[in-house]
């Protein structure tokens, strides 16, 4: 397994609004630029903390998480009608080739960053589709989220996306997190 599970006992921490310090909804929206007809996937969706605000602006979001317990918690909170929980690993996504307009992932890239996962992301995107990744930065002070030794640098994500045939058009490293966006040109 190429991932660590997230302790469901700690899952309520994922719904702590102070997390917007690391990535606000406004920022995620501005980078993802969701369109009303979009069908997207949130990779490592957890309790749906970032899934919900995106789902308000698109036709459909597939909330992908490897742990069914996380979907159970999301169900308890209330899953929007246009969100479909999908229990799967990013390295083996149950979507057809070119099926989605975009994918996004918050604070989970370090869990699925292998070649298999990146190839899957590229495979399921339609031409012109985009991927947005926000995650903990290895060079950050380690104040939030995973411990520094489990993290990657921005360059790791940029390189992995490029190797999967995607074109990176936005990549920024901040104090504690990095964000990057790539597109599938064809």
Ligand X SMILES: C[S@@+](CC[C@H](N)C(=O)[O-])C[C@H]1O[C@@H](n2cnc3c(N)ncnc32)[C@H](O)[C@@H]1O
Rule CB under 6 A: which residues touch ligand X? 2-3, 5-6, 14, 44-46, 49-50, 64-67, 70, 89-90, 106-108, 111-112
Least separation in angstroms between residue 158's CB and ligand X is: 20
Q: Which is nearer to ligand X, 82 or 167 (CB)?
A: 82
Least separation in angstroms between residue 137's CB and ligand X is: 15
Strand (E) or helix (H) holding 148: none
Q: How many residues in the chain?
A: 186
List, in order, residues 6 or more apart from 122 with CB less than 8 Å away: 164, 165, 166, 184
Q: Which is nearer to ligand X, 45 or 122 (CB)?
A: 45
Q: Which is nearer to ligand X, 136 or 182 (CB)?
A: 136
Q: Which is nearer to ligand X, 167 or 175 (CB)?
A: 175
Q: Rounded to whole angstroms, how far apart are CA atoms 79 and 156? A: 33
């Amino acid at each position: 397994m190429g991932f660590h599970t997230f302790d469901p006992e700690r899952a309520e921490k994922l719904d702590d609004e102070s997390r917007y310090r690391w990535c606000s909804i406004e920022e995620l929206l501005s980078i993802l630029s969701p369109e009303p007809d979009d069908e997207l996937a949130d990779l490592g969706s957890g309790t749906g903390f970032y899934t919900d605000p995106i789902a308000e602006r698109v036709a459909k979001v597939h909330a992908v998480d490897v742990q069914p317990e996380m979907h159970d918690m999301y169900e308890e909170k209330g899953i929007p009608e246009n969100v479909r929980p999908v229990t799967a690993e990013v390295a083996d996504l149950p979507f057809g080739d070119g099926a989605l307009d975009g994918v996004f992932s918050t604070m989970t890239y370090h869990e699925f960053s292998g070649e298999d996962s990146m190839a899957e992301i590229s495979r399921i995107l339609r031409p012109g589709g985009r991927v947005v990744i926000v995650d903990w930065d290895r060079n950050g002070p380690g104040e939030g989220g995973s411990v520094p030794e489990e993290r990657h640098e921005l360059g790791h994500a940029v390189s992995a996306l490029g190797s999967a045939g995607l074109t990176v058009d936005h990549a920024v490293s901040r104090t504690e997190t990095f964000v990057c966006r790539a597109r599938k040109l064809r």
